[in-house]
Amino acid sequence: MMPFNRTCKEVTALVIAREDRHLPWRERLALSVHMKLCDTCPVFERQVLTMRNAMRQWRHYEDPDEAVAEQGKVPNSTQDTTNQRIF
């Protein structure tokens, strides 16, 4: 195996490993070279980035209904108006 000639299987492992650790310059260079030559690995990389961003958003997601319930307030659109008098 040449130092910068990686298989798709090796590159996908590097893409995933890059999520957890800093890659040495040789691995980054091999990844970059392969990404320029391959059609499918950049697609996989975009999918990994999409999943990472989705997980980040999910981690910080706050349900508006739960936030209102925790504050002890009921939104105006859902207040019960059956016992209220209108003058």
3-class DSSP string for the chain: CCCCCCCHHHHHHHHHHHHHCCCCHHHHHHHHHHHHHCCCHHHHHHHHHHHHHHHHHHHCCCCHHHHHHHHCCCCHHHCCCCCCCCC
- Judged against a pLDDT cut of 90, whether residue 10 lies above it is answered with yes
| pTM flag (> 0.85) | no
Domain assignment present for residue 3? The answer is no
Range of the domain at 40: 8-62
* pLDDT above 80 (res 72): no
pLDDT of amino acid 1? 47
Please report which confidence band the pLDDT of residue 61 belongs to, taking 50, 70 and 90 as the band edges. Answer: confident
* pLDDT recorded at residue 21: 93
In a domain, 85, yes or no: no
Sequence-distant (6+) residues with CB within 8 A of 15 are 31, 41, 44, 45, 48
Residue 21 lies in a domain: yes
Give me the number of domains the chain comprises.
Answer: 1
Indicate whether 20 belongs to any domain: yes
- 81 occurs within a structural domain: no
Could you tell me if residue 80 is inside a domain? no
- pLDDT exceeds cutoff 90 at 71: no
